[in-house]
Amino acid sequence: MQSKIYPIVDRNGANYSIHKISLKEVYSLANFFSELSSSTIKLFHPHPFDITFLKKILKDGKDLRVILRNSNNKIIGYAFLSKVLLNPGIGYFGIVISEQFQGRGLGELFTRALMEIGKAEMCNKIILNVYNDNLRAKKLYVKLGFKKIRINFFLKYAIIITELIKSEDLQGLVSKIFNKFDRQVKEDRKSIWMMKKMRI
């Protein structure tokens, strides 16, 4: 089923559309990333861009990931809100627009649309990390009402861990750890722990 499409129009009257990305579009998304300039990638590298990783996050479907297409149906933007471990209601945000399409007001329209979908579907707070010298992005965020915060230790590490465990090996390891915890909880019901303090 095709997901809902949000139409937008830029400052010059050109038409675009925003919709949630599906697994079927994984190759077009990878192609979009491969065409980003190095200066754009320097500012935007929240996760790997290889097919295996992209398939995994799209299949997982837990986060909100949207694309922006121009009237030729070419992907020219990508943005996401990712659920933060142990912090329900907080979405970790990222956005990128192809260099040729930056500075036309699309970043603002795209972010507003994603915030609206995010608010309806998954979070009541959005958090992001931006380089000090990324003036364009900072200006956009201030305009949209984002405020500089002093992030607390636990939230910062929850975000880092959430993003890290999306990588295959770590996710395998984390699920093994949780399975082990589960088994231990069951075993604890029929066993006791004992300790002896040793005198040296």
Ligand X SMILES: CC(C)(COP(=O)(O)OP(=O)(O)OC[C@H]1O[C@@H](n2cnc3c(N)ncnc32)[C@H](O)[C@@H]1OP(=O)(O)O)[C@@H](O)C(=O)NCCC(=O)NCCS
Applying CB under 6 A, the residues found at the interface with ligand X are: 40, 43-44, 95-97, 102-108, 128, 130, 134-137, 139-140, 143
For the bound state, the minimum distance from the C-beta of residue 12 to ligand X, rounded and expressed in Å, comes to: 11
For the bound state, the minimum distance from the C-beta of residue 184 to ligand X, rounded and expressed in Å, comes to: 40
Give the nearer residue to ligand X in terms of CB position, either 40 or 171.
40
Count Cβ neighbours within 10 Å for each residue of 146-160 and write b for 16 or more, e otherwise: beeeeeeeebeebbe
For the bound state, the minimum distance from the C-beta of residue 99 to ligand X, rounded and expressed in Å, comes to: 8
Give the nearer residue to ligand X in terms of CB position, either 17 or 40.
40
Give the nearer residue to ligand X in terms of CB position, either 105 or 174.
105
Give the nearer residue to ligand X in terms of CB position, either 26 or 36.
36
Phi, psi of 103 (to 5 degrees): 80, 15
